Amino acid sequence: MLLLFTLFLIIRLVIPSIVSSGEFFLSNFQSYYIGTQDVIYYINDLDIFGIDISMDNIMALIRNFVIENLSLSINTIIGIPSALFKGFLAFVSSIYCLLEKDKLIKYLCKLLRVFSSDTLYHTVIKYMRLLNNNFKQYIYTQTIDGCILGTLATIELILLRSPYALILGIMLGIVNYIPYFGSIFGSIFAVIIVAFTQGIPTAAVASIVLLVTQQLDGNVIQPKLLGGSFSLSPLLVIICITIGGAYYGILGMIVAIPIVAVVKNILEEIVAFYEQQKKIKYEDVQQIE
């Protein structure tokens, strides 16, 4: 029901806004082109390190990029029906998995109990439950944080009279599922859009406002939510996100925190176990002496 309600809101509110924004962008493309030229002239007038940007060179780069990636774009368009079909199968399969979840879990637990020792069985069940709870908590906290960031960004961009305030706010809320780095890249993209559509002065104000919001979220709200949920220090969160992204991309950045939280719990229990063993041995030696 929650999924259907979300789809209804997207179809009813978000998609019409995106369509109207797209029509607005196309109807004002000429003014945006002129505004982009003004931005380039402004940068050239600053004479930063002798940089000289030409609009013709930019258009040539865009044209070459489109030509070079035309075959890839065609293959992508051709693959859309296949991707939609796979997505539909995944959606239907997920529904059946949810419906059969209890039976599947009981069967897997039965197999694990039969082919493993009681100690191994209880250990695996314990950490699988912990990992499952971590993923739930991660999605929950990131959704709350994304709603907060997206709402604040949308309100700020509306106050700056951006015609794409809603779209950019939704985009910032979605990319926020990638901790720390997602909101940074999203804010940079939003400032670029504002610069090309509303000019450098408005973009400068937007960059300051979004930077303050992003810093507030990245250094106060998000670490508080993630750290409080998983008992991880902000430094450890950044390290595990960086490593996860380096090896497995965006997916690695998203799943890094729940997995590291479980690994941290395992290591703490191992350390506590050996500390207890050493304490017992030390007490035995003291008794003998």
Cα separation, 41 vs 226, whole angstroms = 44
End-to-end C-alpha distance for the chain, whole angstroms:
70
Predicted confidence at residue 73, as pLDDT, reads 54
Model confidence at 285: pLDDT above 60: no
Tens of pLDDT, residues 150-199: 888 889 888 888 877 888 888 888 887 776 677 778 888 888 888 777 77
Write down the domain spans for the chain: 135-289
The tally of CA atoms less than 13 A away on the side-chain side of residue 99 is 6
Tens of pLDDT, residues 117-147: 888 888 888 888 888 888 888 888 888 888 8
Predicted confidence at residue 283, as pLDDT, reads 62
pTM for the full predicted model? 0.59
How long a stretch of residues is the chain? 289
The interaxial angle of helices 29-46 and 15-27, nearest 10 deg, is 70
